[in-house]
């Protein structure tokens, strides 16, 4: 466990992104590796909601959701924020679980 944590910490330190768009691109790549069943039509909000339900406690979900809100405002609303926390997205990219199905919950959500 300690060994795994060390590897993850090193990986997190090495991952760099020059801006928020690159951070989300890194997250997308990590998501495809972690969830082979990830549908092509996913949105960031769906991803965050699904990952939150997995109970990864060490992440600051408020910060992640806040960053996502600012990213969407920039991406679709043309609003630029100076204080976007790129690190919260990179930390999320480095904390993705393995061997979990992505679709299991999203299908039940759409049915409901």
Partner 1 sequence: MYPLLQDLRVKVLDEVNKVVIGREKEASLLLTCLLARGHVLLEGVPGTSKTLLAKTFAKCLGLTFKRVQFTPDMLPLDIVGGFIFNMKNREFEFKQGPVFTNLLLADEINRAAPKVQSALLEAMQELQVTVEGFTSKLPSPFMVIATQNPLDFEGVYPLPESEKDRFMVRVIFDYPETSIESEILKRNLMEMSVEEVHTVVTSEDLQQMFRVVDSIRVTDEILDYLSKIAKETRTDSRVNLGASPRAMVQLVHCARANAALEGRNYITPDDVKKLAPYVLAHRMRLDRSATLKGLATTPEIIVQQVLDAVKPPR
CA distance 17 to 25: 9
Tell me if 43 contacts partner 1 by CB under 8 A: yes
Binds partner 1 by CB under 8 A, chosen from 6, 7, 32, 39: 39
Tell me if 108 contacts partner 1 by CB under 8 A: no
Residue number with CB closer to partner 1 (16 or 45): 45
Tell me if 45 contacts partner 1 by CB under 8 A: yes
Per CB under 8 A, the segment of 1-9, 12-20, 34-42, 93-101 that binds partner 1 is 34-42
The DSSP output letter for 19 is: S
Per CB under 8 A, the segment of 2-10, 38-46, 50-58, 92-100 that binds partner 1 is 38-46
Tell me if 80 contacts partner 1 by CB under 8 A: no
Q: Report how many residues bind partner 1 under the rule CB under 8 A.
A: 17
Q: Are 33 and 100 in contact (CB under 8 A)?
A: no
Residue 52 in tokens: 């939150």
Residue number with CB closer to partner 1 (42 or 61): 42
Residue recorded with tokens 């990213």: 71
Residue 89 in tokens: 């997205």
69, HSE (Cβ side, Cα atoms, 13 Å): 7
Q: Are 88 and 63 in contact (CB under 8 A)?
A: yes
């Amino acid at each position: 466990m300690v060994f795994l944590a060390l590897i993850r910490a090193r990986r997190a330190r090495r991952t760099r992104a020059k801006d928020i768009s690159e951070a989300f691109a890194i997250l997308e790549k990590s998501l495809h590796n972690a969830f082979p069943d990830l549908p092509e039509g996913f949105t960031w909000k769906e991803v965050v909601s699904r990952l939150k339900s997995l109970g990864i406690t060490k992440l600051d979900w408020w910060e992640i959701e806040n960053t996502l809100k600012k990213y969407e405002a920039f991406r679709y609303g043309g609003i630029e924020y100076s204080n976007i926390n790129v690190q919260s997205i990179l930390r999320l990219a480095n904390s993705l679980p393995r061997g979990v199905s992505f679709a299991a919950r999203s299908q039940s959500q759409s049915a409901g």
